[in-house]
Amino acid sequence: LQSHSDVLDSTAFGKDEETGKLVGTPEIFLDSSSSRRKKLLVTPAPVKINAPIPTPSVFLDARGEIHNVRLGGRKRINLLHSHAGVLRSGDIHSNTQCDFLFEGTMEVWCLGSNGETTMTTYGPKSLIQIPPGVPHLFHSVTDTVMAEWWENPQDFQAWHYKPYRQLVEQNIRTFATASKNQPEGKLVVFLEEPQQHLPSIPFLGQIPKSTVGVVSIGLSLLSGFCVGICVGMRKR
């Protein structure tokens, strides 16, 4: 697989002063001048990236896995496992992005207002915060386990920063070729969003009818067993 040193040797984009001037500002998303947009190297992410992701679900590919969960009906949190050498993101958000690194070593690239890329290394138990409008890329120096979420997730949207995103897409192809998997990966949806008609159990939330049936039968058998023991003990 492509090593980190190889990745760095291929980053010939140098300083990006045009985009750097707008880092951290709304203009990095809203500039409509086609000529300036080409210089900024910022493009809207494909529709499938900004489309709602079913939860709970897991996206699997040769690079690792991303568990997509939703808490409280609104708060979406991703749990990511990435193999050493994996590059992720290469994008920009209008929301503050927060990441917590549970395990491993992560290098985070961020484009600064001077047009230069700053690379910061984080270890376990690190909280990483990326402000809105800052192009960023994650490089797993070792195998990593990380959680990520966004402030005001209902307004989530991503734009791609071409110099970073091109490296990420090349990294996807490299891992896929090495493992003979498809670059697109596979999304596995475990359970649809809870529906009003599904039964609810306190502290467990709503679960599928088939599961409720099994649980009901199990409880009935257990109740009958306990009653039988009590009757038998009374006869003694």
pLDDT at 140: 98
How far is 61 from 140, CA to CA, in rounded Å? 15
Laid out side by side, the sheet with 64-71 consists of: 126-130, 97-103, 144-150, 75-82, 64-71, 57-61, 186-189
Most confident of 128-132, 211-215, 222-226: 128-132
Q: If you write DSSP's letter for every residue of 104-133 in order, what string do you get?
A: S-EEEEEE-TTSPEEEEEE-TTEEEEE-TT
Side-chain half-sphere CA neighbours of 76 within 13 A: 18
By the 8 A CB rule, do 156 and 150 touch?
A: yes
pLDDT at 228: 46
How far is 185 from 117, CA to CA, in rounded Å? 29
Look at residue 39 and tell me whether its pLDDT is greater than 80: no
CA 99 remoteness from chain centre? 10
CB under 8 A, 24+ apart: contacts of 117-120: 117/11
How far is 161 from 59, CA to CA, in rounded Å? 22
Q: Which of 45-49, 60-64, 87-91, 180-184 has the lowest mean pLDDT?
A: 180-184
Per DSSP, helices labelled H in 51-183 are 162-179
**pLDDT digits over 55-81, tens only?**
999 999 999 999 999 887 778 899 999
**pLDDT digits over 166-216, tens only?**
999 999 999 999 987 666 789 999 865 555 444 444 444 444 444 434 334
Preceding omega of 56 cis (within 30 degrees of 0) = yes
Q: Which residue has the tokens 């193999």?
A: 83
Most confident of 144-148, 190-194, 220-224: 144-148
By the 8 A CB rule, do 31 and 41 touch?
A: no
pLDDT at 37: 60
pLDDT at 88: 98
User: Three-class SS of residue 204?
Assistant: coil
By the 8 A CB rule, do 118 and 160 touch?
A: no
For residues 75-103, average pLDDT: 96
Amino acid at 186: K
Handedness of CA 96, 122, 11, 113 (dihedral sign): positive
pLDDT at 38: 60
How far is 71 from 155, CA to CA, in rounded Å? 16
How far is 79 from 77, CA to CA, in rounded Å? 7
